[in-house]
Structure 1
Amino acid sequence: MPAAVHPAPQPSETLQAANAVPRNQPRGTPSLKSPRSAQICCTICWLLILGFIVFLALFIIDCAISSRPKISIDRIAAVGLNTTPGLTLSPHFNITVRVKNLSKFFFKQCYSYGYAAISYSGVTVGEGVLAVFCHGPRKSTVLETVLRGSDIVLADGVRDRLAEDQRRGEVAMEAAMRLPTPYGNGFVEVSALCQVVVGPMFRSTPCSVEK
Structure 2
Amino acid sequence: MDDRVHPAESTTAEEKMAAPAEPAAISRPENPLAQKNIEKLKPPPGTYVIQIPKDQIYRVPPPENARRFQTYTLRTHRRRHGCCCCCFAWTAALLLFFLVALAAAAVILYFVFQPKIPNYSVDGLSVKGFNLSSTAANLAADLAALSPEFDATVRADNANKKIGIYYRSGSSIAVSYDGVNLCHGVWPTFYQGERNATVFQTALTGSGIRLAAATHAALVTAQSHGKVPLEINIQVPVRLKFSAVTTWTITVKVRCDVTVDKLTADSRIISKSCSVKVDPF
- Answer whether TM exceeds 0.5 for this pair: yes
- Rounded to whole Å, the distance in 2 between the matches of 1:79 and 1:97 is 18
- Rounded to whole Å, the distance in 1 between the matches of 2:277 and 2:201 is 22
- The DSSP-based 3-state class of the residue aligned with 1:176 is strand
- Rounded to whole Å, the distance in 1 between the matches of 2:190 and 2:211 is 35
Percent of pairs identical after alignment?
A: 31
Q: Which has the higher strand share?
A: 1
Pick from 245, 249, 254: which aligns with 1:187? 249
Pick from 117, 128, 132: which aligns with 1:79? 128
- The DSSP-based 3-state class of the residue aligned with 2:163 is coil
Partner of 1:117: 174
Maintained 8 Å contact 1:108/1:136: yes
Partner of 2:222: 165
Greater RCO, CA 8 A, separation 6+: 1
- Rounded to whole Å, the distance in 2 between the matches of 1:62 and 1:112 is 26
- The DSSP-based 3-state class of the residue aligned with 1:206 is strand
Is 1:69–2:118 an aligned residue pair?
Answer: yes
Maintained 8 Å contact 1:115/1:177: yes
Pick from 259, 263, 279: which aligns with 1:197? 259
Residue identity opposite 1:195 in structure 2: D
Residue identity opposite 1:164 in structure 2: T
Residue identity opposite 2:217 in structure 1: D
Per the alignment, do residues 186 and 59 of structure 1 end up closer, same or farther by CA in structure 2, a change over 3 Å counting? closer
- Per-residue deviation, 1:86: 3.3
Maintained 8 Å contact 1:73/1:204: no
The structure 1 segments of at least 4 consecutive aligned residues displaced by more than 4 Å after TM superposition are: 61-64, 183-186
**Looking at CA atoms only, which structure, 1 or 2, has the larger radius of gyration?**
2
Cα displacement string for residues 46-75 of structure 1 (whole angstroms, at most 9, x for unaligned residues): xxxxxxxxxxx9962574543x21110110
Q: Which has the higher helix share?
A: 2
Q: How does 1:119-158 map to 2 (within 5 A)?
A: 119-158=176-215
- Rounded to whole Å, the distance in 2 between the matches of 1:81 and 1:62 is 51
- Rounded to whole Å, the distance in 2 between the matches of 1:164 and 1:132 is 38
Q: How many residues align?
A: 154
Q: How does 1:31-110 map to 2 (within 5 A)?
A: 60-61=110-111, 63-66=113-116, 68-83=117-132, 84-104=141-161, 106-110=162-166
Q: 5+ residue gaps in structure 1?
A: 1-56
- Rounded to whole Å, the distance in 2 between the matches of 1:172 and 1:193 is 13
Cα displacement string for residues 99-152 of structure 1 (whole angstroms, at most 9, x for unaligned residues): 111202x11111113211100011110100111111122101112111111111
- Per-residue deviation, 1:187: 2.0
Is 1:209–2:276 an aligned residue pair?
Answer: yes
Residue identity opposite 1:130 in structure 2: W
Partner of 2:232: 175
- Rounded to whole Å, the distance in 1 between the matches of 2:204 and 2:118 is 22
- Rounded to whole Å, the distance in 1 between the matches of 2:143 and 2:268 is 29
Between 165-174 and 111-120, the greater mean CA deviation after superposition: 165-174
- Per-residue deviation, 1:169: 3.0
Residue identity opposite 2:173 in structure 1: A
Residue identity opposite 1:165 in structure 2: A
- The DSSP-based 3-state class of the residue aligned with 2:186 is strand
Per the alignment, do residues 182 and 61 of structure 1 end up closer, same or farther by CA in structure 2, a change over 3 Å counting? same
Partner of 2:27: none
Per the alignment, do residues 70 and 61 of structure 1 end up closer, same or farther by CA in structure 2, a change over 3 Å counting? farther
Residue identity opposite 2:168 in structure 1: S
- Rounded to whole Å, the distance in 2 between the matches of 1:148 and 1:63 is 39
Between 193-202 and 80-89, the greater mean CA deviation after superposition: 80-89
